Chains A and B, each alone.
Chain A
Amino acid sequence: MSAYILRRILSTIPVVLFVMIFVFSLLYLAPGDPAAILAGDQATQTDIEAIRSQLGLDRSFPVRFLEWAGGVFQGDFGTSIFTREPVTQMILQRVEPTVSLMIVTLIIALVIAIPMGVAAAWKRGSLLDRAIMLFAVLGFSVPVFVVGYVLAWGVALQLGWLPVQGYVPLSDGLWPWLRRLILPAITLSGVYIALIARITRATMLEILQQDYIRTARAKGAAGRTVLFVHALRNALVPIVTVVGLGIALMISGAVVIETVFSLPGLGRLTVESILRRDYPVIQAIILIFSFVYVIINLLIDISYTLIDPRIRY
């Protein structure tokens, strides 16, 4: 097992290398000039060229790439073209809101979706099953920003129960932190509740048809025991897969939610950086996201062996 984990970790190196080259090339070839954006509307060609030269944007592709890659291998992602701050510092400032949002979203999604999926499978064909599946369809089909605006209008503006926007770090206290995250997390969790509930239901339905479930029932096992001990544990492999991939997909959902609820997270930083062509920031964020994605996949694979001892690597 440890040899497998080591192999998998080593295999991330070429992936990350490829991402580095690909992202750098893509941004190099993409239209848009940060120097022109920096210089503003009144700038002359001379002004823009001076800024390009000052930022080193006039150097050749190989020189720029090698300099950047050399920095990355030393843990230095460079400096933002616009704010002149170290990229690492900018990213660290923005990590907490995004991670907080993802954790709270995931907790809400798991706490609601798995019982929903199990209940729908257990009461297959009932009104409850149909209601849960209807909710799942709505969760998929209603855009998150619509849900976000409706919740902000109703819960925050009309009822005044929660703040409209903004983020408070966890260091300021658990409740202030949570207050700011409840609405965005509920908004973002809708699609994941729908996804996980449907997968749970489908997997549970399949497992509840298995011989060993019939045997457990024949031996007099209680319904709850059959459901949660025999069936659910065996249904966890696909659920864990979906949850893991959901975490990766959440990053894209976070972009919209962070904008709607004004959370200063990585999603917003990504969009801002792309729009203004802040190359060092974009490169660092994509690289980090790629690495996180690879690690999540690894953790998913490792978790299989814990859930199902029959799986061996």
Chain B
Amino acid sequence: MITRRSILGAAAATPLLSIPSLAQNSTRILRYVPSSNLTILDPVFTPAAVSITHGYCVFDTLYGMDADLQPVPQMAAGHTVSDDGLTWEITLRDGLMFHDGEPVRAQDCAASLLRWSRRDGFGQAMAAATESITARDDKTIVIQLTRPFGRLLHAIGKPHSSPAMIMPERLAKTDISEQVTEMVGSGPLKFVADEYVSGDRVVYEKFADYVPRDEAAAWTSGGKVMNFDRVIWQIIPDPATAAAAIQAGEVDWVGGILPDLAPLMEAHPDVNLFRQDPFGLVSVMRFNHLQAPFDNVEIRRAVLAAVNQTPYMQSVTASEANRSECLAAFPCGLPGVKELGEGIMGSLDVEAAQAALKAAGYNGERVVILNPTDIASIHPHGLITADLLTRMGMNVDLQDTDWGTVVQRRVSKEPVDNGGWSIAHTNWPAISIANPATNATTRGLGEKGWWGWYKDDQMEQIVADWLSAGSEEEADTLFDMANARAIDQVPTVPLGQSFQDGAVRSDLTGLLQGSVSMFWNVDRA
């Protein structure tokens, strides 16, 4: 029976228990707030950044990316390539263990690569050039190609959307249309399934049997040394609450701070801003190439010429330090990217744009813009585009809806009168579209490709040549060709790059840059 005495007694006693120094042992805990809720645990099944962040905790990759964005051995000890470039042998390093106590075998890696190559774009390109992925023995993975694929290590070492993460063979045999829900990897952190509550918290424990590499950690490569015993993700859906929580010291690290709140973080003596991803996000305007008017390249060029990236980027962030214009089809700042759009984009001459539209044969077709009102970084783009096209004389139908509906409707290939669409906007992590093979916004795969279904055999030939290029010089030339082709044919209009800062308590050290938050190397001063 609950009595007044027992309640008062409990109330008097419990504050003592809530004092960390008394309530906890010496367990070192890092508290992190991800930018969104973790609902899908399988990082190969989905390209969602939060799932990839989780993936890097639990899983490891054969190759990682170093600070120069070059692939270097991670789980691998190294590799050999046959003289004809068709046989790749990757050897596993010693001491690799899964969280269930089983050793990592080449069979696990082969099955994982096969599953990944059925979903990921770069993986699919690799699969198209692959005869088989097998294990010669427990330590050696053999990738037999049908044609040279010089970018193989870039593919299996790609850092984002989606990395080729290694899981036990029994899990890797799961069909790619089905999620893996049992989280057994060989990464530096173990997923604590009993404490996982989607929408509230995700808990990881340091994997005691993880053997880090000797090299210094950088991006997704090097020694993944965990200095914390537990990493607890706390899901805080409201950005203002997350900002308040880090100011109050209730959490150590907020993955993404709302740009409006960044000055508050800067002003706080115990909080620092931290730019996780130096390459940021690329905003894009995507056309539906199957329907008029944007099946006409001249009309696409007219729009490209009229687009000024500044208002698009200003709508994402007021801070000039957190945005940049980029007149290229690939993200600026990444290796090999040159700005080619000077004089082609952003003329701001609406009269010229109107004339160009007329000359291109625009007949007043309705332009349906799908616009998600619940995604703050995308919603303004629809408004700006609608205003621009209206001023250009287009018959614009801006359709405000939620993200869930946009995602459903943008896969419709129907005409606009039958539920179809003409333009949709989205963001891509720059690192995800870093080269001709991975850049879905420029690929010309048609109806087999990314929504919008841009078909361009010439572009696909450039991609194929780039993938099998025999030298870096040849690859660079082909990269430039892909960039120029995309600016010329306008499969997508690039709208600029924005950079989101995270916030960390000032006593945290050793944070690594990368496309997602990484918890190894981090320590408390």
- The interface of chain A, by Cβ under 8 A from chain B, is 31-33, 36-42, 44-48, 50-51, 53-54, 80, 82-85, 90, 93-94, 149, 152-153, 156-157, 160, 163-167, 172-176, 178-179, 259-262, 264, 268-269, 272, 275-277
Chain B minimum-CB-distance residue to A168: B18
* A262 x B46 contact (CB < 8 A): no
* B47 x A174 contact (CB < 8 A): no
* A44 x B448 contact (CB < 8 A): yes
- Known contacts A44-B450, A166-B250, A277 near B177 by CB under 8 Å: no
Which one of A42, A94, A152 contacts B121 once the chains associate, using CB atoms below 8 Å? A42
Which residues of chain A come closer than 8 Å to B408, judged between CB atoms? 31-33, 36-37
* B449 x A176 contact (CB < 8 A): no
Distance of A31 Cα from B409 Cα, bound (Å): 8
Contact with A along B35-78 (1 / 0, CB 8 A): 00101110001111000000000000000000000000000000
Distance of A175 Cα from B179 Cα, bound (Å): 40
* A174 x B10 contact (CB < 8 A): yes
Which one of A42, A53, A54, A175 contacts B18 once the chains associate, using CB atoms below 8 Å? A175
Whether B240 is near chain A, meaning CB under 8 Å from some CB there, is: yes
Which one of A42, A47, A48, A176 contacts B161 once the chains associate, using CB atoms below 8 Å? A42
* A149 x B240 contact (CB < 8 A): yes
Whether B138 is near chain A, meaning CB under 8 Å from some CB there, is: no
* B450 x A42 contact (CB < 8 A): yes
Contact with A along B193-212 (1 / 0, CB 8 A): 00001111100000000000
A-B contact pairs, 22 of them (CB 8 A): A31-B404, A33-B411, A37-B408, A38-B46, A41-B428, A42-B440, A42-B450, A45-B413, A45-B447, A46-B448, A53-B177, A54-B175, A80-B198, A157-B244, A164-B241, A164-B245, A166-B234, A172-B17, A173-B10, A262-B234, A264-B200, A264-B235
Interface residues of B in 364-417 (CB under 8 A from A): 374, 401-405, 407-409, 411, 413
Distance of A62 Cα from B111 Cα, bound (Å): 38
- Known contacts A163-B250, A268-B199, A275-B402, A153 near B244 by CB under 8 Å: yes
Taking the closest CB of chain A, its distance from the CB of B40, in whole angstroms, is: 6
* B177 x A84 contact (CB < 8 A): no
Of residues B15, B40, B199, which shows the largest number of chain A Cβ atoms within 10 Å of its Cβ?
B199
* A264 x B197 contact (CB < 8 A): yes
Distance of A31 Cα from B408 Cα, bound (Å): 7
Of residues A172, A173, A178, which shows the largest number of chain B Cβ atoms within 10 Å of its Cβ?
A173
Which residues of chain A come closer than 8 Å to B234, judged between CB atoms? 166, 262
* A176 x B39 contact (CB < 8 A): no
* B40 x A38 contact (CB < 8 A): yes
* B374 x A165 contact (CB < 8 A): no
Distance of A48 Cα from B449 Cα, bound (Å): 12
Chain B minimum-CB-distance residue to A177: B14
Total number of A-B contacts with CB less than 8 angstroms? Answer: 151
Whether B119 is near chain A, meaning CB under 8 Å from some CB there, is: yes
- Known contacts A176-B17, A268-B199, A31 near B11 by CB under 8 Å: no
Distance of A108 Cα from B188 Cα, bound (Å): 47
Distance of A174 Cα from B178 Cα, bound (Å): 42
* A82 x B39 contact (CB < 8 A): yes
Taking the closest CB of chain B, its distance from the CB of A14, in whole angstroms, is: 31
Taking the closest CB of chain B, its distance from the CB of A276, in whole angstroms, is: 6
Which residues of chain B come closer than 8 Å to A269, judged between CB atoms? 199
Which one of A48, A149, A175 contacts B10 once the chains associate, using CB atoms below 8 Å? A175
Distance of A45 Cα from B401 Cα, bound (Å): 21
- Known contacts A152-B241, A175-B11, A277-B404, A165 near B250 by CB under 8 Å: yes
Distance of A31 Cα from B40 Cα, bound (Å): 22
Chain A minimum-CB-distance residue to B412: A45
Whether B457 is near chain A, meaning CB under 8 Å from some CB there, is: no
Which residues of chain A come closer than 8 Å to B241, judged between CB atoms? 152, 164-165, 259-262
* B10 x A275 contact (CB < 8 A): no
* A37 x B407 contact (CB < 8 A): yes
Taking the closest CB of chain A, its distance from the CB of B282, in whole angstroms, is: 12
Distance of A72 Cα from B32 Cα, bound (Å): 37
Which one of A31, A152, A260 contacts B405 once the chains associate, using CB atoms below 8 Å? A31
Which residues of chain A come closer than 8 Å to B450, judged between CB atoms? 42, 44
Which one of A42, A50, A85, A175 contacts B47 once the chains associate, using CB atoms below 8 Å? A42
- Known contacts A83-B198, A165-B244, A259-B237, A44 near B17 by CB under 8 Å: no
* A36 x B407 contact (CB < 8 A): yes
* B15 x A175 contact (CB < 8 A): yes
- Known contacts A152-B244, A165-B244, A40 near B15 by CB under 8 Å: no
Distance of A14 Cα from B428 Cα, bound (Å): 49
Whether B102 is near chain A, meaning CB under 8 Å from some CB there, is: no
Taking the closest CB of chain A, its distance from the CB of B281, in whole angstroms, is: 12
Distance of A33 Cα from B407 Cα, bound (Å): 7
Chain A minimum-CB-distance residue to B9: A174
Chain A minimum-CB-distance residue to B248: A164
* A262 x B235 contact (CB < 8 A): yes
Which residues of chain B come closer than 8 Å to A83, judged between CB atoms? 39-41, 181, 198
Distance of A172 Cα from B14 Cα, bound (Å): 9
Which residues of chain A come closer than 8 Å to B179, judged between CB atoms? 84
* B237 x A37 contact (CB < 8 A): no
Distance of A176 Cα from B11 Cα, bound (Å): 9
Chain B minimum-CB-distance residue to A173: B14
Taking the closest CB of chain B, its distance from the CB of A2, in whole angstroms, is: 28
Which residues of chain B come closer than 8 Å to A276, judged between CB atoms? 39, 404
Distance of A90 Cα from B197 Cα, bound (Å): 8
Which residues of chain B come closer than 8 Å to A38, judged between CB atoms? 40, 45-46
Whether B131 is near chain A, meaning CB under 8 Å from some CB there, is: no
Which residues of chain B come closer than 8 Å to A157, judged between CB atoms? 244, 247-248
Distance of A49 Cα from B409 Cα, bound (Å): 14
* A32 x B405 contact (CB < 8 A): yes
Taking the closest CB of chain A, its distance from the CB of B425, in whole angstroms, is: 11
Which one of B181, B250, B411, B428 contacts A164 once the chains associate, using CB atoms below 8 Å? B250
Interface residues of B in 173-199 (CB under 8 A from A): 175-179, 181, 197-199
Which one of A54, A82, A166 contacts B178 once the chains associate, using CB atoms below 8 Å? A54
Taking the closest CB of chain A, its distance from the CB of B472, in whole angstroms, is: 27
Distance of A175 Cα from B121 Cα, bound (Å): 52
Which residues of chain A come closer than 8 Å to B197, judged between CB atoms? 93-94, 264
Distance of A149 Cα from B242 Cα, bound (Å): 12
Which residues of chain B come closer than 8 Å to A152, judged between CB atoms? 241, 244
Whether B236 is near chain A, meaning CB under 8 Å from some CB there, is: yes
Interface residues of B in 67-112 (CB under 8 A from A): none
Which residues of chain A come closer than 8 Å to B401, judged between CB atoms? 31
Distance of A166 Cα from B246 Cα, bound (Å): 12
Whether B7 is near chain A, meaning CB under 8 Å from some CB there, is: yes
Distance of A276 Cα from B404 Cα, bound (Å): 6
Which residues of chain B come closer than 8 Å to A51, judged between CB atoms? 177
Distance of A41 Cα from B175 Cα, bound (Å): 20
Whether B426 is near chain A, meaning CB under 8 Å from some CB there, is: yes
- Known contacts A54-B175, A164-B244, A272 near B37 by CB under 8 Å: yes
Whether B238 is near chain A, meaning CB under 8 Å from some CB there, is: yes
Which residues of chain B come closer than 8 Å to A268, judged between CB atoms? 199, 237
Distance of A54 Cα from B404 Cα, bound (Å): 19
Distance of A36 Cα from B123 Cα, bound (Å): 20
Chain A minimum-CB-distance residue to B432: A42
Contact with A along B410-438 (1 / 0, CB 8 A): 01010000000000001010000000000
List the 10 shortest-distance A-B pairs measured between CB atoms, nearest first.
A264-B200, A175-B14, A173-B14, A50-B177, A33-B408, A32-B404, A82-B39, A31-B405, A54-B177, A40-B47
